[in-house]
Chain A
Amino acid sequence: MGRRDGAAAGGTACREYGDSMDRMIEVRRLKRHFGPFLAVDDVSFDVARGEVLGFLGPNGAGKSTTMKLITGFLAPTSGTAVVCGADVVADPIAAKRHIGYLPEGAPAYFDMTPASFLRFIARIRGFGGAEAQRRIALAIERTALHGVLAQPIETLSKGYKRRVGLAQALLHDPDVLILDEPTDGLDPNQKHEVRTLINALAPQKAIIISTHLLEEVDAVCTRAIIIARGRIVADGTPVELEARSRYHNAVRLTLAADTGEAAAALLRLPGVISVEPIEDMEGSGFTIFPRDGRPIMAEVTDLVRAARWPVAGLRLERGRLDEVFRDITTAAAA
């Protein structure tokens, strides 16, 4: 096992730091000014092992700045972050040993090859000899970099550059992963690969990813924080956030032929508060909104069956994260 070597390099002490649900990242009242501009305003949250925290927010909301504060790239104006027990303000080098960080845009030394770049990262993180070889090989395997090891990074495609950045972040098998837009600019297959990788790593680590892709939150995150104007405006599981949507538990009904009476009949159901006509690629029909977000599927199906409408489609809406996101972030901006 390489555990002893890792501990010698200060890499894995967090594993002995507490029970499996310990708080690996503790963000304490972080604030950061840029001149008069308050980029991060009193942000606090914890991330435990096994959690994948999605950082959502409009561009310029403070997502990247918060990440730069946690990773010790920027010094906070006030507050701090504690990573595996190491205070990033008081002891930045100890904190940085526990963190694997993919900065926005996956910067890397473009004149190096992935092989020499990863060797550099291994050396600077204190691994040498066979241990370095083993870790580099594992990082290459996890990110499927085999084919491009000898090419200068500047000649690689965007997807491969992103993977080089991920390999670099994973090399020391950190307890905490902070990934700033890890799938930005990737094609759908590459996005899927990165998300699969994050899901595979998730149980052993505390992970923060920033994204503005809401589908990504559903795909990988166990929890999401929405940040706007430097403040946390929502914090919950994706399901909890979706439940805030007026579409939560709404039913979408498309009909093969318009019966003329459907809207009025649906509106008479006790659990229904409103019915909106829809007309799109899937055909014409209605979105039926429930009173107080309570389930109405049973009522609607009973009615449909009794009335013998020609149903083309019937679907339960879980709630629309993009709508919640828009509501919350625009309300915060107003």
Chain B
Amino acid sequence: MRSTWVIFRRELASYFATPLAYVFIVIFLALAGALAFFLGNFFDRGQADLQPFFGFHPWLYLVLIPALAMRLWAEERKTGTIELFLTLPISIGAAVLGKFLASWAFAGIALVLTFPFWITVNVLGSPDNGVILASYIGSFLMAGAFLAIGSALSALTKNQVIAFVLTAAVCFLFTVSGSNIVLGFFTDWAPHALLAALMSFSFLTHFSAIVRGVIDLRDAVFFLSLIALFLYANTVIVELKKAD
């Protein structure tokens, strides 16, 4: 546990040691704002809530989160530091968890920095702050799921661009698995159980439930168990691929 904490601190600091952190945060805030205002009609709707803001988060994460996750293991493998890192007296589980939590905390920092939106709606009207809090939690959980997928996939390759593309593709499938883009491919022949299972894996379904203010423990459990699953896969992949 202690080594997880030490790794967490080093990893989080390493985001800020390069321009990555600042570029990421600025782009994230700019895009989150632009999407909410221009595509989401934040003002014109005349409603005091953050639905247009949170509604775009899955799509925003689809582009930005793989960029955050791609370096986690691919860079260690590329530069050879993985050999130094994994010959320290730590378990692979602690290493995977420390890195993941650092990236998740960083995503959390970016998310917290969107607080001006929250202030804005509170100045302009009286929104349901409970729903907003739930939406923030939902968005954070979804970011965690994207990051866990990205972390696992970045251990597959030394090439960060490949890690980015793989993560974006897999995250896209998870995001839209409940929509017609994916379901249309299966509806004609697949059994109902499979369709239901596919829909249940949709990030959009779970996230939009939370954003509407329907706080169901199952949605939170979905994201958390997805994170656990991919972090476990991450440890297996690191063990298999570290020496290649």
Binding site for B on A (CB under 8 A): 10, 68, 71-74, 93-94, 96-97, 99, 101, 103-105, 107-112, 116, 120-121, 123-126, 152, 165, 168
Contacts and interface: CB of A to CB of B under 8 A. Distances in A.
Nearest to A70: B87
Contact of A73 (B3, B9, B79, B243): B243
Contacts of A124: 3, 6-7, 88-90
A121 B88 contact: yes
Say which size band chain B's interface belongs to.
Answer: 20 to 34
Interface stretch (B10-18, B140-148, B174-182): B10-18
Given A73-B242, A93-B89, A124-B90, 19 more contacts: A10-B89, A68-B83, A96-B88, A96-B89, A99-B87, A104-B80, A105-B80, A107-B79, A107-B80, A107-B84, A108-B81, A108-B84, A109-B14, A110-B79, A111-B17, A120-B10, A124-B88, A124-B89, A126-B89
A104 B84 CA distance: 10
Contacts of A120: 6, 10
B45 interface: no
A94 B83 CA distance: 17
Nearest to B10: A120
Contacts of A104: 80, 83
A197 to B, nearest CB: 19
A111 B89 contact: no
A109 B81 contact: yes
A96 B14 contact: no
B27 interface: no
A103 B87 contact: yes
B88 A74 contact: no
5 contacts: A73-B83, A108-B81, A108-B84, A116-B13, A124-B3
B86 interface: yes
A125 B88 contact: yes
Given A93-B89, A124-B6, A124-B7, A103 B84 contact: yes
A104 to B, nearest CB: 8
Nearest to A71: B87
Contacts, number: 66
A68 B80 CA distance: 13
Nearest to B81: A107
Given A111-B17, A120-B10, A168-B84, A74 B79 contact: no
A265 B91 CA distance: 71
A210 to B, nearest CB: 14
B192 interface: no
A150 to B, nearest CB: 13
Contact of B90 (A74, A93, A107, A152): A93
Nearest to B7: A124
B2 interface: yes
Contacts of B18: 111
Contact of B2 (A73, A74, A101, A126): A126
A112 B229 CA distance: 31
B91 A93 contact: yes
6 residue pairs, one from A and one from B, having the closest CB atoms: A107-B80, A103-B83, A96-B89, A111-B17, A123-B6, A107-B81
Contacts of B84: 101, 103, 107-108, 165, 168
Interface string B1-38: 01100110110011001100000000000000000000
A152 B18 CA distance: 11
A112 B84 CA distance: 14
Contacts of B89: 10, 93-94, 96-97, 124-126
Interface string B216-241: 00000000000000000000000000
A110 B17 CA distance: 10
Nearest to A95: B89
Contacts of B2: 126
Contacts of B6: 120, 123-124
A68 B91 CA distance: 16
Contacts of B242: 73
Contacts of B86: 72-73
A101 B80 contact: no
A99 B83 CA distance: 13
A83 to B, nearest CB: 12
A156 to B, nearest CB: 14
Contacts of A94: 89
A315 to B, nearest CB: 43
A101 B80 CA distance: 13
Contacts of B88: 96, 121, 124-125
A116 to B, nearest CB: 8
B228 to A, nearest CB: 23
